[in-house]
Structure 1
Amino acid sequence: MAATDYLACDRLLAEVRACRLCAAHLPQEPRPLLQLGRGARLLIAGQAPGRRAHDSGVPFDDASGERLRLWLGVDKAVFYDPQHIAILPMGLCYPGSGKSGDLPPRPECAPQWRNALLAQLPQLQLTLVLGQYALDWHLPQYDTVTAAAQAWQQTLPLGVLALPHPSPRNNLWLRRNPWFETEVLPALQARIAALLR
């Protein structure tokens, strides 16, 4: 890859990290959290950073991240290497909390930045879609995360896989859908091991 490609990526990342587009709507100062390297083959398309991630400045720095790394079969060193894994939520800043968890990603964020950031991933081979907002962007033909996850044998060969959010709040979903852990996770781990070789 040309050095100019890397410079353009660095400039874009600096611009994104300085973004204040929705500052007036956030509970705290904007702190866009993402991880992106031009060599990344795997993209994690999530919702928005949680409060712990906002506070630490590290994406998935919580119980959800621990479960997600377990699902992927990778350790922290691999997970946080931007040349292996890109992390690009639909909303880049912590949106605040509501009655039943965090608020939705801010609607201004994805239209402003997502296409330009995705264009910086020329090696991308697999996108993992976490949650409804990411599903609406990446797999809009499916109404629910469950329906998209059940279609894993159709979507995985196309380089996209829907996962339930790895939050402990989804323990009930996991109990009701045992096929996810017995069928989907082994296939996902094999695919990721091949991607990261």
Structure 2
Amino acid sequence: MKPTGSLSPSQCRLCADVLEPRPVVQLGREARLLIIGQAPGLKVHHSGIPWNDASGRRLRQWLGMTPERFYDPEAVAIVPMGLCYPGRGRSGDNPPDRRCAPHWHARLLAQLPHIELTLLVGQYAQRYYLPGFSTLTESVRNWRALAPAQFPLPHPSPRNTLWLKRHPWFETELVPELQGRIRAMGLAD
């Protein structure tokens, strides 16, 4: 999915010294839902479509959104902490490149005037956007303090299945509230 209009960071080469730049974002001026995740995975890097993997399927399930609605840039903006695939590390993908968010986020978010709900997906987004961040579990556990404007979420990766099993309240309490908020915004099908 290509970003639209003047919002496009598609030619960014900020990380060219260490990565293969291929920014993956989804932007539209009318978007009302903003998803701030970690960084594209390898499959997303190759396809150029954000959340086009198992993590994306789980995220769309948590939101109660069809792929068609999710990939409508005039409904959903997607701006990861690192715009490009960060490469592979010892235990999964490397962390997002630290230069991306400070360079891009303020200018991109300033061009999204209709955002009503922001999802902070994973520890990198929560550490950057939540003052006093301690742990992902603590942020997600205290989701009510941020709702209805923000929802902190664990990363929906299949690698986090154990976290989900250890914290069943996430799917029994937070997910239904999140789906209700998405429906109230008219974004669920």
- Please tell me whether the aligned partners of residues 54 and 157 of structure 2 are also in contact (alpha carbons under 8 angstroms): yes
CA RMSD across the alignment:
1.1
Please point out which of 17, 20, 24 is paired with 2:13: 20
Aligned length: 184
Q: What is the deviation of 1:21?
A: 1.1
- Please tell me whether the aligned partners of residues 33 and 118 of structure 2 are also in contact (alpha carbons under 8 angstroms): yes
Q: What is the deviation of 1:139?
A: 1.2
AA partner of residue 24 (structure 1): D
Please point out which of 127, 134, 140 is paired with 1:149: 140
Match of 2:180 in 1: 190
Match of 1:163 in 2: 153
Q: What is the deviation of 1:140?
A: 2.6
1:86-110 deviation line (CA, Å, top 9, x unaligned): 1000000001010011001111111
- Please tell me whether the aligned partners of residues 39 and 83 of structure 2 are also in contact (alpha carbons under 8 angstroms): yes
- Please tell me whether the aligned partners of residues 119 and 153 of structure 2 are also in contact (alpha carbons under 8 angstroms): yes
Distance across 2 between alignment mates of 1:160 and 1:12:
22
Match of 1:60 in 2: 51
Q: Percent identity?
A: 58
**Aligned runs of 1:1-197 on 2, under 5 Å?**
10-13=5-8, 16-26=9-19, 29-157=20-148, 159-196=149-186
AA partner of residue 88 (structure 1): V
The answer for unaligned runs of 5 or more in structure 2 is none
- Please tell me whether the aligned partners of residues 130 and 164 of structure 1 are also in contact (alpha carbons under 8 angstroms): yes
Distance across 2 between alignment mates of 1:55 and 1:80:
17
Distance across 1 between alignment mates of 2:86 and 2:105:
17
Match of 1:6 in 2: none
Secondary structure in structure 2 of the residue aligned to 1:24: coil
- Please tell me whether the aligned partners of residues 123 and 154 of structure 2 are also in contact (alpha carbons under 8 angstroms): no
- Please tell me whether the aligned partners of residues 128 and 162 of structure 1 are also in contact (alpha carbons under 8 angstroms): yes
Q: What is the deviation of 1:175?
A: 0.3
- Please tell me whether the aligned partners of residues 25 and 50 of structure 2 are also in contact (alpha carbons under 8 angstroms): yes
Distance across 1 between alignment mates of 2:129 and 2:115:
14
- Please tell me whether the aligned partners of residues 84 and 196 of structure 1 are also in contact (alpha carbons under 8 angstroms): no
Distance across 2 between alignment mates of 1:108 and 1:90:
9
Distance across 2 between alignment mates of 1:195 and 1:175:
29
The answer for unaligned runs of 5 or more in structure 1 is 1-8
